[in-house]
Structures are given as C-alpha cells and as structure tokens.
C-alpha cells in the first residue's frame, strides 16, 4: 500500500492543486476586485501561491528534519527523515518532484483532448447523435449559442501554471538539472496546445489591459533568487 501511495504521489499533488485552484477562484470571485484585470491577477497569484506551496514547499517540509535549527518552538515539530540534501533525499523526495513535473508536462494534451471531446459529446446529446446540425433540444437562442460557441478562455490559469513551473524549476533545478529539460518540454507543449485551443475551442478572448502580464512579470523576477540561495545550498552540501 505504501509503495502504491509513493508511486502515485505526483497524481495526488496535481489533484490537490486542482481542488485548491477551484476553491481559491471561488473565494477571490466572492471577495471581488475593482476591475476584471485586478481580479484575474489576484486569482493568478492566489492559485500560484497554493500550487507552489503544495508542490514545492510542503513535500520539502514534511520530509525535512529541522530540530537542530532555530526557532526550536517551531522546528521541534519538523521531524522528517532528511537533515540535508543527501543522496537519499534525491531518491525519495526529489524523485516525487520530478514525477510531478513530468505529469505536469503532458497535462496540456489532456486539456486539449477534453476540450474537444466534452463539447462534442454535449452537442451530440443535444442532437441525439442524429448528425443534423439544425436539430436541438435547446429552447432559447442564448442556450443554443452557449453550447455551440465554445468555452471562455481562462488566461489567468495559464499564468499561474507557468509561474509554478518556473519557481519549482528554479528552486530545485541546480540539484536536479532534469527539471530544466522538463520545464522546456512543458512550455513547448503548452505553446502547441494553446495555439490549437485559441483557434478551435474557445471564444474570442476579452480585451484586457496589461495588468495581468505586468503582474506575472513582477512575480517571475523573484524566481532566480531561489536558484541562487537554494541552488547554492544543494551544490555545497557534503
């Protein structure tokens, strides 16, 4: 049982990320912002913080042993197996991080596939799979257009996902260089899938100002600090 759980930890992390994303979106939407761009930026940041903590920080803390460090009233409760980035850490914890990033790198194709299949099934059920485009169960033009016009393009989810990949790669890439390869593979897959999604699956994205892009760039500029500090810790460990 423990072996199965250890093997599936990457899938569990991604599933928890999806749950966190849904909860944070509902919470921030309920709180509200002055403009749509500010609300999307808040959602981007909130989802990123939750995903980064769940993917890159929580796994590290659970497996760390910090009892020798201050403040002891906090660190005395962090009693994992690993005192440092030892070879065992890479085999146990690092492997799970790499597994999670590998699964993340192929998720764009899962989203692309479901983006075609789910609307196709819904439209087929609406036409009773008759093949007649004029046959429908919808009783209003608004409901018909909602079914056949495609979904909304959720750009802020994409930003939070990119931020999470960059931060995880910067934090652990110095000790596990395969993460840089996986990040490049992930970005290439996203580039391919996003072009198809925008062209064939979603409605025309709404016109937004540059606040969302500037917010993402401001977040990205802190990622190299993780590479410097945590990377130095990893390569200087004896």
Phi, psi dihedrals of residue 202, rounded to the nearest 5°: -110, 165
Q: Which two tokens stand for residue 47?
A: 């989802």
- The SS3 assignment for 79 reads strand
Which residues is 28 bridged to in the sheet? none
Each residue's pLDDT tens digit, 152-201: 887 777 888 899 999 999 999 999 999 999 999 999 999 999 999 988 88
pLDDT at 7: 52
- pLDDT, mean of each 10-residue run, the chain (238 residues): 51 74 78 75 84 84 79 76 85 89 91 89 83 79 81 81 93 93 95 91 77 87 91 82
- Residue 10 is predicted with a pLDDT of 60
Residue with tokens 């440092």: 84
- pTM for the whole structure: 0.82
Report the alpha-carbon distance of residue 147 to residue 203 in Å, rounded. Answer: 11
| Cα–Cα distance list, 233 to 77, 85, 199, 229 (Å) | 22, 8, 45, 6
Identify the pLDDT of residue 102.
Answer: 92
Q: Which two tokens stand for residue 108?
A: 């764009």
For residues 199 and 67, what is the distance between their CA atoms, to the nearest angstrom? 54
Report the DSSP beta bridge partners of residue 45. none
């Amino acid at each position: 049982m423990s072996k199965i759980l250890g093997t599936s930890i990457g899938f569990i992390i991604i599933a928890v990320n999806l749950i966190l994303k849904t909860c944070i979106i509902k919470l921030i939407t309920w709180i509200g912002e002055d403009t749509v761009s500010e609300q999307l930026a808040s959602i981007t940041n909130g989802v990123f913080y939750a995903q980064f903590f769940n993917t890159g920080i929580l796994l590290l803390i659970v497996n760390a042993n910090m009892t020798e460090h201050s403040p002891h009233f906090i660190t005395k409760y962090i009693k994992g197996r690993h005192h440092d980035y030892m070879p065992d850490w890479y085999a146990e914890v690092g492997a799970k991080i790499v597994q999670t990033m590998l699964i993340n790198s192929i998720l764009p194709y899962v989203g692309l596939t479901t983006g075609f299949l789910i609307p196709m099934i819904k439209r087929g059920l609406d036409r009773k799979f008759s093949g007649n485009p004029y046959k429908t169960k919808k009783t209003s033009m608004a409901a018909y257009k909602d079914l056949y016009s495609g979904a909304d393009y959720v750009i802020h989810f994409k930003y939070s996902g990119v931020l999470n990949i960059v931060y995880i790669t910067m934090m652990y890439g110095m000790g596990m260089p395969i993460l840089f390869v996986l990040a490049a593979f992930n970005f290439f897959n996203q580039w391919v899938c996003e072009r198809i999604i925008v062209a064939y699956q979603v409605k025309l994205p709404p016109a937004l100002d540059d606040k969302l892009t500037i917010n993402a760039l401001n977040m990205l500029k802190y990622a190299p600090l993780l590479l410097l500090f945590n990377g130095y810790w990893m390569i200087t460990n004896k």
